[in-house]
């Protein structure tokens, strides 16, 4: 395994990392999948009117983007990510094994969902997920725009997620 500090983005970190990095590589994570499984009560919703955002949930695999962080910035980036992602402690940050597009194996810092957290929605029926995404508005905007930005950037990277694309179509009434 590579000795560098890597961060694995599967959602908004792909299109809004908010930190400097030395390298970005498409990567695959086995054993986890990208899922709209987290009630958003802060960034894309409120406690009274939650939205829905992504989490890494157990099973399957996920393609995303791995960012290599300069050694002298690793602790600051880890702290900034903690401050950004752990507002409600719905994630269990950890290092996970990644395979980069160029074949390297690295460990990436990422944010799997805590299934024991009250914000864990699990796999919702399509109609319920659509309703939550349509209603979700929080401090960082709408759940719909979050979903659309993720779909767009995954496609631009050549990493399309057909299930997210179908969900966005349903949200938009297509």
22 catalytic? Reply is no
Q: Are 83 and 75 spatial neighbours (Cβ–Cβ below 8 Å)?
A: no
Choose, from 23, 85, 127, 155, the residue flagged as catalytic. 85
Beta bridge partners of 8: 66
pLDDT score recorded for residue 174: 82
Q: Are 137 and 7 spatial neighbours (Cβ–Cβ below 8 Å)?
A: no
pLDDT score recorded for residue 165: 98
Count of alpha carbons within 13 angstroms of residue 137, beta-carbon side: 2
Query: Per-residue pLDDT for the chain (174 aa), expressed as one digit of tens each?
Result: 567 999 999 999 999 999 999 999 999 999 999 999 999 999 999 999 999 999 999 999 999 999 999 999 999 999 999 999 999 999 999 999 999 999 999 999 999 999 999 999 999 999 999 999 999 999 999 999 999 999 999 999 999 999 999 999 999 998
Q: How many CB atoms lie within 10 A of CB 83?
A: 9
CATH level 3 topology of 5-169: Hypothetical upf0131 protein ytfp (3.10.490)
């Amino acid at each position: 395994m590579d000795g560098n500090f890597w961060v694995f983005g599967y959602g908004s970190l792909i299109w809004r990392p908010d930190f400097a990095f030395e390298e970005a590589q498409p990567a695959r994570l086995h054993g986890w999948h990208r899922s709209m499984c987290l009630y958003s009560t802060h960034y894309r919703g409120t406690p009274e009117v939650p939205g829905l955002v992504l989490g890494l949930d157990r099973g399957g695999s996920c393609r995303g983007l791995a960012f290599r962080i300069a050694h002298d910035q690793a602790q600051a980036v880890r702290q900034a990510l903690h401050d950004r992602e752990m507002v409600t402690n719905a994630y269990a940050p950890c290092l996970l094994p990644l395979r980069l597009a160029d074949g390297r194996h690295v460990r990436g810092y990422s944010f799997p969902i805590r299934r024991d957290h009250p914000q864990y929605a699990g796999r919702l029926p399509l109609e319920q997920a659509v309703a939550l995404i349509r209603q979700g508005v929080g401090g960082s905007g709408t759940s719909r725009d979050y979903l659309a930005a993720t779909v767009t950037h995954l496609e631009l990277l050549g990493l399309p997620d057909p299930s997210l694309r179908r969900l966005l179509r349903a949200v938009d009434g297509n």
